[in-house]
Structure 1
Amino acid sequence: MRSSRASTTPARPSWPGGNSPMSTRSTAFSRGGRRSGARFHKQRPGSPIARPRCTVQILPRYASVKPDPGRFMMLLPTGKLPLSLAAFTACALLCGTSALAQDAFNCPATGGDLIVGMEASMSSLDQHTNTSSATRNVAMNIFETLVIRDEEMNPVADLADTISVSDDGLTYTFTLREGVSFHNGKPLTSADVLASFDRYRDVGINRASLDVVEGWEAPDDMTFVITLVRVQPTFLESLSSYTVPIVIMPAEEAAKPAGQIDPIGTGPFEFVEFVPDSHVRLARYDGYVPNETLPELSGFAGRKQACVDTVTFRMLTEPGARMAALETGEIHIAENVPTVSQERLANTEGVELLRLQNFALNIGYPNWSAPPTDNRLVRQAMLAALDMEEIMEAATDGAYELNASFQFPGQGYYSTAGEEFYNQADPDRARELLAEAGYNNEPIVLLTNQQFPSMYNSALVMAAQLQAAGMNAELRVLDWPTALATSEQETQGWNFFYTFWATVTAQGGPTSLRNLADPNNVYKPVDNVGDPDFNAAFDAIEAGETIEERREAFARAQEIAFEEVMAIPFGIMSNAQGIRTEVEGFVPFYNTRVSNVWFAQ
């Protein structure tokens, strides 16, 4: 235990989770759900996830031919290999030639307007500057990146054709794919990549991921070179993160301030219109050139095709209205089917339900700049009072798992370090800490929204538990975009914010904790100066030379996050999505994908 924090915290546990072996994540889909009673259809044969696939984690110089759905293994040096050749070699070793010989995906049918019912509204399609999952659900069908994640969250090439790394591990050279053009018809060149990286360095939410970069250059139209200050084994993991990805846009758009771009990308769908609080409409981009690295869609990588003419994302934030629209066929895909609706919909003709297990951490974080949560003892009292079973039951109607970790079980960095702080359900201990803190009934403002029922219901139950422990908890309810913006831009007027981490957690490794590190600091420390011990541990996660060192650093960082109450993970939520039976090829993922989806003829 750190001596400076010894007076109010129990002894630290040993960290067996920090050294646990890598393990394989179970299949993404299942029938039914915990206490839901719903019947779920298995994924149709012939859809992308149902086909045999070769999962390869392979990067130049740093590669593992062992498939790692739990992500991430230490990437072992293999010599200077272009990504495409390395992936071919590793896949041949791992899977034989059957996966390599798999036919490339082509749309079985084309045409129609696919309508998606969104669970939340959105304010912007500027992917550089927006953390909202609602934005990603649309924008990631418009934009592409240099490097992205596949279905199992391994980094793979996207707009890059090949990637090579210098012998000293400091220089990354990306050769771009030929023939790619933006939706305005302009050919993609390295000047656009350079301008997009310049913009992200200035306004990108996760620009701290570029702190290790000394600089970048575009020596010719098809080559982009990044030089690092020091070797960072996790650099391509970081670069391929798509929580707030470095999407590539035309250089003239990259010159625009935050929130003022025209959403022009290179993806299979182009932007048509955005009507706030109503809908976003996309259309097939006829000039799209697919990535042939993988024969089909995998994550946001691989061969993507726009099979439908248009996609309309309708903002149907009231769950009852969204479910009714699915039942009547007014929409074709419904995001987030509530547990209470699943049994009825599973027995509704024309509707299928698909579940993504381990979808997200239901999570919240305090505001360290606003009293009384600027007091560590008050934060610890809040955590001590919480009964996670009650919170998760209300948040999910029973479809949950408790989880004392910032990772999903089975992930490569999974640890239970700090678990003694989780699910204490001890109001007496909370009162002791409040007395020691000198708490004087100051309001504790819980910032939430009603568009995401899991967040709202978590706030309701948590408020009751805090009140029962002697805290003056009150709710502040805003719409989701405003609540999110308030948590990001304001340090007063709220004490605790509710959200969920889906892609943040699913991508694993450093990405799972980046929100708590400098300068992201979602918990709003004074002057945005984060906890020094946590930041030191986070730096060790990124820079550790061995997987053991990085796992141990993750465990240290996680324990500090629990002890200091930088964030509170309540538990794991699954996610059920509903589709009409005429929809083919749709596979639930951490964000909505409309490529390679078609209507049955």
Structure 2
Amino acid sequence: MKTMFSRFALAMAAAVAFTAPAMAQKQGGDVVIAMTQAPPSLDPHASSAQVARNVNLHMFETLYARDENAKPVPDLAEGATISPDGLTYVFALRKDVKFHNGKMMGSADVAASLERFRKGGASAALLAAIDSITASGPNEVTVKLKSVQSTFLGNLSSPRSPIAIIPAEEAAKPIGQASPIGTGPFKFVEYKPDSHVKIEKFADYKPNPAYKERDGFAGAKIVYLNSVTFRFIPEAGARNAALESGQVQLNETSDSPTAKRLKDNPAFTVIPVLPFSMQVVKFNHAQAPGSDANFRRAVALAIDPEEIMAVSYPDIYKLDYAWVYGGSAYHSDRGKWKTDIAAAKAELAKSGYKGEKLAYIVDNTRPSVDVATVMQQQLAQIGVNIDIKVADWPTVSKVGFTDEGWNFWTHGFGIEPFEGPASVIAPWVKGVSQRKTDPVIDGLFDKINTEMSVEGQKKIFDQFQDHMSKEAVALNIGNYGLFQIASSKLKNFKAYRIPRMWGVWLD
């Protein structure tokens, strides 16, 4: 495992790793955040995209949520009573929760939301173990499982495609068509897909009384700001210019040269975050040649991850072939491979590939385009002909979840390794990501969800990593980080999986 975390980045990490002195919180003010892309949907059940989480998790909440260390904790639920056989969960709901439309949240809303997600949510596999969902009282929901699932509360609290609670009438709508009405500390104002999403403080929001502080996606969500606008600025230079001119107060993803230039400027705070995501390359298994494991292995052997990451994420990357982040109990070096051009050519010769052009879809952010461009050059060495097709994230993600129009797709895989093994395996279940069902992966997902011990789960996850490597189902190129740069006027901001705007204020 090789890390490229420059002295500059290490210095920045040390500089921001301090406990802020007590400051007087100020009410009011409007924050603008520069984001790379527009969210593909504001229906929380419809997308697992990072840009969707950035916005949606300010407006929507879940029964259980992940704390700062990714542990599942109660959020809209007061807690859960679990039957001795592990098959029945009775959730007591908080009684003081109001939706943005003024309706009080009740068990019917919760039951309808869970039913909707398990039937068609972007990560519906997380709730596959559910047998029935019942509104068993005005403020009580009972969930019965088909079999014991050790990861059920973890799955329920997943922020990847949040299992958000929405009004029952919204839950009756098809996936992708629900209005953005949630219970979160901010409520929807407007969405202009070519420009921005704006949200504002929800005046009737009551922070969870069980918590005193901000804690991951849970905790006390206290809002001091009047509004937050997420402005979509794909070009890195334009995001930096907007920050430096005062048009935005937070650049959610900046580049290394700008971070270095602003590190000593008292008007800004530079925050390095590593790891933030894995750079994953997907193959379309529904179409030749991606359907051929020989071709996929040829690609794996031909590419040089070091060069790809060094070009795409200078100063802030880590070569790591594991499908979870370092420090996890499930981390290992399994699946590591070496570049071997001769072996790559031999594997390619066994495949049916004849030199035809292959579509490599990629969103229009600079690192993603760089990854595709370097891979294009590397694969040309063995005779693989790549045609890079660049579009915005909503367009690319729409194509990437269909069986046609693409052969390769690269993007970040960030929240899944943060959550753990079940969430890492889930996107590949029923062929959602690779577009063809893989019985081995589906079987391992079932096993890891019922295995109670960490040791047993690790053995199962090792099998998953071995399978991903042997069959080259997809490629984990390495971990990348990012530099977030905030205006010094933005107080008490702490980097996390999303740019949380509760607990912060403007000075």
Which interval holds the TM-score relative to the shorter structure? over 0.9
Paired position in structure 1 for 2:322: 405
Q: Is the 8 A contact 2:358 2:385 kept in 1?
A: yes
Give me the whole-angstrom Cα distance separating, in 1, the residues matched to 2:418 and 2:219. 19
CA deviation map 1:77-101 (0-9, x unaligned):
xxxxxxxxxxxxxxxxxxxxxxxxx
Partner of 2:254, secondary structure, is coil
Paired position in structure 2 for 1:461: 374
Paired position in structure 2 for 1:304: 221
Give me the whole-angstrom Cα distance separating, in 2, the residues matched to 1:517 and 1:145. 23
CA deviation map 1:188-215 (0-9, x unaligned):
1011101111211222011112211110
CA deviation map 1:149-178 (0-9, x unaligned):
000000000000121101111110111112
Paired position in structure 2 for 1:183: 100
Paired position in structure 2 for 1:471: 384
Paired position in structure 1 for 2:233: 316
Give me the whole-angstrom Cα distance separating, in 1, the residues matched to 2:151 and 2:175. 28
Q: Is the 8 A contact 1:148 1:301 kept in 2?
A: yes
**1:371 aligns to 2:283 (yes or no):** no
Matched letter for residue 435 of structure 1: A
Give me the whole-angstrom Cα distance separating, in 2, the residues matched to 1:403 and 1:337. 23
Paired position in structure 2 for 1:27: none
Question: Alignment partner for residue 556 of structure 1, among 463, 467, 477?
Answer: 463
Matched letter for residue 545 of structure 1: M
CA deviation map 1:38-86 (0-9, x unaligned):
8523145348xxx9xxxxxxxxxxxxxxxxxxxxxxxxxxxxxxxxxxx
Paired position in structure 2 for 1:506: 418
Paired position in structure 1 for 2:356: 442
Paired position in structure 2 for 1:10: none
> Against the structure 1 CA distance between its residues 254 and 115, is the aligned structure 2 distance closer, same or farther, given a 3 Å change threshold?
same
Partner of 1:193, secondary structure, is helix
CA apart distance, 1:182: 0.6
CA apart distance, 1:294: 2.4
Paired position in structure 2 for 1:480: 393
After TM superposition, the score normalised by the length of structure 2 is 0.96
> Which runs of 5 or more residues in structure 1 are unaligned?
1-16, 18-31, 52-105
**1:217 aligns to 2:189 (yes or no):** no
Partner of 1:134, secondary structure, is helix
After TM superposition, the score normalised by the length of structure 1 is 0.81
Question: Alignment partner for residue 45 of structure 1, among 4, 9, 19?
Answer: 19
Aligned pairs, how many?
Answer: 503
Matched letter for residue 511 of structure 1: S
Q: Is the 8 A contact 1:449 1:483 kept in 2?
A: yes
User: Which structure has the highest strand share of the two?
Assistant: 2
Give me the whole-angstrom Cα distance separating, in 2, the residues matched to 1:304 and 1:107. 17
Give me the whole-angstrom Cα distance separating, in 1, the residues matched to 2:160 and 2:310. 27
Q: Is the 8 A contact 2:9 2:272 kept in 1?
A: no
Q: Map of 1:91-490 to 2, 5 A cutoff?
A: 108-419=25-336, 422=337, 424-451=338-365, 453-488=366-401, 490=402
CA deviation map 1:271-330 (0-9, x unaligned):
111111101111111100111222111111010011101111111111101011111211
CA apart distance, 1:349: 3.7
Matched letter for residue 33 of structure 2: V
**1:522 aligns to 2:437 (yes or no):** no
Give me the whole-angstrom Cα distance separating, in 2, the residues matched to 1:540 and 1:417. 19
Partner of 1:208, secondary structure, is helix
Q: Is the 8 A contact 2:274 2:316 kept in 1?
A: no
Q: Is the 8 A contact 1:160 1:174 kept in 2?
A: yes
Question: Could you tell which deviates more after superposition, 269-278 or 470-479?
Answer: 470-479
Q: Is the 8 A contact 1:36 1:399 kept in 2?
A: no
CA apart distance, 1:513: 1.9
Paired position in structure 2 for 1:34: 6
Moved over 6 A (4+): none
Question: Alignment partner for residue 441 of structure 2, among 534, 538, 541?
Answer: 534
Paired position in structure 2 for 1:70: none
> Which runs of 5 or more residues in structure 2 are unaligned?
none
Q: Is the 8 A contact 1:39 1:346 kept in 2?
A: no
Q: Map of 1:34-73 to 2, 5 A cutoff?
A: 34=6, 36=8, 40=12, 41-43=15-17, 45-46=19-20
Give me the whole-angstrom Cα distance separating, in 2, the residues matched to 1:465 and 1:107. 54
Partner of 1:352, secondary structure, is strand
Partner of 1:258, secondary structure, is coil
Question: Could you tell which deviates more after superposition, 454-463 or 258-267?
Answer: 258-267
Q: Is the 8 A contact 1:268 1:288 kept in 2?
A: yes
> Against the structure 1 CA distance between its residues 434 and 412, is the aligned structure 2 distance closer, same or farther, given a 3 Å change threshold?
same
CA apart distance, 1:538: 2.4
Q: Is the 8 A contact 2:115 2:133 kept in 1?
A: no
Give me the whole-angstrom Cα distance separating, in 1, the residues matched to 2:272 and 2:465. 28
Partner of 1:499, secondary structure, is strand
Q: Is the 8 A contact 2:48 2:123 kept in 1?
A: no
